[in-house]
Structure formats: structure tokens, C-alpha cells
């Protein structure tokens, strides 16, 4: 199947080619470095499928352009699907596929890494020790054992994260409109969203970004959180209202913030901008806080996850080429 792969990085190409070579004959993959957007949609000309990542934009205008170019399938090489207008895709008859699970542990382990780094300040210690500064002042943390950790969204990643935090001896409290027995079986418990935001020492977001969860963590929610709360977002940037987050940091209510995602990350992440002036003043303000740690959407980035993403993406293309339906379709029902 002729597929235009947008936002290609060298590692995407390596893993997708390896998975594709396992097939005979393989799919015809055309690697394109730029992101999909209204002004780049024409690059899909001649392709039956486009393969997209998290910051490619497939809104109605882009989908109409892809439809006119003959594209029949959008194969997302990620779990989230917030960057595709599913209503428009359905109306245009364009199928959408994703990789529903590749390595929940990869994201869960990165979440734990953010918590440990923020708490024990290993990033600051690393720099100090390399400069011969062995002072401990400013590096004090807290014991995780006995702390209450809130898990917002107890699906695959939330559950894997809950297991890790139970291992540290934390009390784990989840909220999810669809509670799971697996979550309670590990000694975690469910509570309401209100309880989670008002009682937890650490709150970690693992729900999808949908119209209902957009700015779930807003000024009103932050105002009700515990003084000194640690907030972690490895879900999607727009789950958090960044302006409200900064206000909470400035008044000292939020004690630590760990972000792997940012609501305006599309203009920043995955690129080397080290020689450029960052134009996003909100992001630049975030970078001034000593208690904020941002990684550039890398929670998924393990070898195991990349292999699984590539093989599932190729399986989606193959299933669509042979049956007209991808192996892991995304439908509007997921927005409910
Ligand atoms: P999942 O579908 O297994 O679990 C999501 C859970 O969130 C479901 O149980 C759902 O019922 C729940 N949920 C929905 N609305 C909610 C709400 N308002 N409050 C609380 N819970 C709610 O998805 P999975 O695989 O665990 O991934 C979760 C999210 O993590 C993805 O949607 C994606 O946005 C993000 N992600 C981030 C990655 C990264 O590299 N930073 C990599 C992979 C996923």
C-alpha cells in the first residue's frame, strides 16, 4: 500500500523499514520529514494512506485535501487520536487507525522518572557534582512511601504507573469513568475526581485528550489541590491550562511540575531549536521555574515501544489493504 509517512525522524524510518521488510512484498513507504498541515497535505499526492504522529494536524480542511488526493486511511503511529477530526474523517469515508497499546510500561516508567527527578533533584545534583559542588542545600526531597498518588485515567498506562507507585509503598487513588478490577486488585482504590485533586500529594494524568478533558486541570481545579502538590502530565498537553499552571506555581501552591507534553508543543517538540530564539513566551516562563521539569514528548521512546509501534502500524496497513478495515480502527465512539 502506497503510504506517505509524515513527520519522519531517522528512528521512525529505521523501525518502520525493519517491520516492513518482514513482509513480502512490503508496503510502499514514502518518508516525508515535514509535519502534515494544510500547507503540506499536497505531499500526500498519490498515496492511499498517510502515517501520522502526535503533532501532525488532520483537521477537517486537511482531511478534505487528503480525500481529494485519494487518501483512504490515516494510520496513526501513536495511541492518542486528538489530532484527527474523527467526525470529518467518518463523513469523508476515510478510515482511521492507531496503535492502541505498544508499551504502557515505557510511559509509566518515564512518569516515575519525572517524579523521582523532581523529588530528589538528581538533575541539579548531576550538574553540581560535575562542577565540584557537593553542597546538599536545596536538594532535599521527601519519602515516596506513604504518600498519596492520584491516577487520572486508569487504563493501560495508568494501571502500569499505579503498579510502580504501589511498589514504592504509596497509597494509590484513581478516578476513571470506567473503573477496572485490575486497578483495585493491586491494592489501589477509586475515588471521585474531586477527592483525587483535593487529597493527593502527587497527581498524574493518564486520560485521553477529548473535548471533555480539555483543560481538565484548570485554575479552579488547581485552587483546590493540596499546598505543594506535584502535578505530572504525560497524557496530552491540553489536559492542563498552562496559564493556570504558571499562576499556581507563582503563588507556590504547586510544588513540582513534570511535563512530557505541552499544549503548544507542535511548534517546539521533536526539533533541535538550540540555535533559535524560542518565541513561545508561556513555555519560556515555564522554563524559569526551578521546580518544573519538561521532557519533549519522549515518554513512549523505548526500543520495545518503537518496535511495537512499527509492527502494529504495518499490520494496520496490511489489514486495510486486504480487508478494507485496519487492525486497530479508531471510531467516534472513543470520544464518548
Ligand atoms: P487507555 O485508553 O488504556 O486509558 C485511558 C483511560 O482514561 C481509560 O480508562 C478512560 O476511561 C479514562 N478516562 C477517559 N476520560 C477520563 C476522565 N475525564 N477522567 C479520568 N479518566 C478518564 O489509554 P492509555 O494507553 O493508558 O493512554 C492514555 C493516554 O496517554 C493516551 O490517550 C495518550 O494521550 C497518552 N500517551 C502519551 C504518550 C507519551 O509519550 N507521552 C504515549 C502514549 C500515550
Buried b (16+ CB within 10 A) or exposed e, 31-49: bbeebbbeebbebbeebbb
Instruction: Please indicate whether residue 265 is annotated as part of the active site.
Output: yes
From 79, 205, 211, 300, the mutation candidate for ligand 1 (largest count of ligand atoms within 8 A of CB) is 79
User: Which residue lies with its CA nearest to atom 2 of ligand 1?
Assistant: 155
DSSP secondary structure letters along 29-87:
EEE--SPPSTTTGGGGTT-SEEEE-TT--B-HHHHHHHHHTT--EEEESSS--TTB-HH
**Structural domains of the chain ordered from first start:** 2-102+302-335 (3.40.50.720), 104-294 (3.40.50.720)
User: ω into residue 25 within 30 of 0, thus cis?
Assistant: yes
Q: How far is the CA of 24 from the centre of ligand 1 (A)?
A: 35
Q: How far is the CA of 45 from the centre of ligand 1 (A)?
A: 33
The number of the ligand 1 atom at minimal distance from the alpha carbon of 207 is 7
User: Which residue lies with its CA nearest to atom 19 of ligand 1?
Assistant: 176
- Cα gap 105→86, rounded to integer Å: 27
- Cα gap 218→221, rounded to integer Å: 5
User: Which residue lies with its CA nearest to atom 11 of ligand 1?
Assistant: 178
Instruction: Please indicate whether residue 48 is annotated as part of the active site.
Output: no
Among 200, 126, 135, smallest CA distance to 162 is for 200
- The catalytic position among 110, 236, 256, 328 is 236
Place of cell 488526493: 69
From 76, 111, 153, 156, the mutation candidate for ligand 1 (largest count of ligand atoms within 8 A of CB) is 153
Count the Cβ atoms, other than its own, within 10 Å of residue 290: 9
Instruction: Please indicate whether residue 91 is annotated as part of the active site.
Output: no
Q: How far is the CA of 265 from the centre of ligand 1 (A)?
A: 18
Interior angle at CA 284, CA 283 and CA 289, nearest 5: 95
pLDDT per residue, tens digit, the chain (336 aa), is 999 999 999 999 999 999 999 887 899 999 999 999 999 999 999 999 999 999 999 999 999 999 999 999 999 999 999 999 999 999 999 999 999 989 999 999 999 999 999 999 999 999 999 999 999 999 999 999 999 999 999 999 999 999 999 999 999 999 999 999 999 999 999 999 999 999 999 999 999 999 999 999 999 999 999 999 999 999 999 999 999 999 999 999 999 999 999 999 999 999 999 999 999 999 999 999 999 999 999 999 999 999 999 999 999 999 999 999 999 999 877 766
User: Which residue lies with its CA nearest to atom 1 of ligand 1?
Assistant: 155
- Ligand 1 pocket: which residues have CB below 6 Å? 79-80, 101, 104, 107, 152-158, 175-178, 206-209, 212-213, 234-236, 260-261, 297, 299-300
CA dihedral 106, 109, 110, 115 (to 10 degrees): 170
Amino acid at each position: 500500500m502506497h503510504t506517505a509517512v509524515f513527520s519522519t525522524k531517522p528512528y521512525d524510518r529505521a523501525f518502520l523499514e525493519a517491520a516492513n521488510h518482514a513482509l513480502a512484498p512490503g508496503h510502499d513507504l514514502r518518508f516525508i520529514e515535514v509535519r502534515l498541515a494544510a500547507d503540506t497535505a499536497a505531499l500526500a499526492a498519490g498515496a492511499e494512506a498517510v502515517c501520522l504522529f502526535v503533532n501532525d494536524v488532520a483537521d477537517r480542511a486537511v482531511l478534505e485535501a487528503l480525500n481529494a488526493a485519494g487518501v483512504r486511511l490515516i494510520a496513526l503511529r501513536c495511541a492518542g487520536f486528538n489530532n484527527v477530526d474523527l467526525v470529518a474523517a467518518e463523513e469523508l469515508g476515510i478510515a482511521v487507525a492507531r496503535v492502541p497499546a505498544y508499551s504502557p510500561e515505557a510511559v509509566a516508567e518515564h512518569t516515575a522518572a519525572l517524579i523521582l527527578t523532581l523529588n530528589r533533584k538528581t538533575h541539579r545534583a548531576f550538574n553540581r557534582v560535575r562542577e565540584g559542588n557537593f553542597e546538599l542545600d536545596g536538594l532535599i526531597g521527601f519519602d515516596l512511601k506513604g504518600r498519596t498518588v492520584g491516577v487520572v485515567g486508569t487504563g493501560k498506562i495508568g494501571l502500569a504507573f499505579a503498579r510502580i507507585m504501589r511498589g514504592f509503598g504509596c497509597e494509590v487513588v484513581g478516578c476513571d469513568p470506567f473503573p477496572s478490577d485490575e486497578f483495585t486488585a493491586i491494592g489501589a482504590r477509586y475515588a471521585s475526581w474531586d477527592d483525587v485533586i483535593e487529597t493527593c500529594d502527587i497527581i498524574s494524568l493518564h486520560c485521553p485528550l477529548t473535548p471533555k478533558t480539555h483543560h481538565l486541570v484548570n485554575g479552579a481545579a488547581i485552587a483546590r489541590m493540596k499546598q505543594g502538590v506535584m502535578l505530572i502530565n504525560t497524557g496530552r498537553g491540553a489536559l492542563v491550562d498552562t496559564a493556570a499552571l504558571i499562576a499556581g506555581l507563582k503563588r507556590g501552591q504547586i510544588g513540582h511540575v513534570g511535563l512530557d507534553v505541552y499544549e503548544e508543543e507542535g511548534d517546539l517538540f521533536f526539533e533541535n531549536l538550540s540555535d533559535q530564539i524560542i518565541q513561545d513566551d508561556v513555555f519560556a516562563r515555564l522554563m524559569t521555574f526551578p521546580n518544573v521539569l519538561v521532557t519533549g514528548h519522549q515518554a513512549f521512546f523505548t526500543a520495545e515501544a518503537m518496535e511495537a509501534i512499527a509492527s502494529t502500524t504495518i499490520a494496520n496497513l496490511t489489514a486495510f489493504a486486504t480487508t478494507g478495515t485496519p487492525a486497530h480502527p479508531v471510531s467516534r465512539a472513543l470520544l464518548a
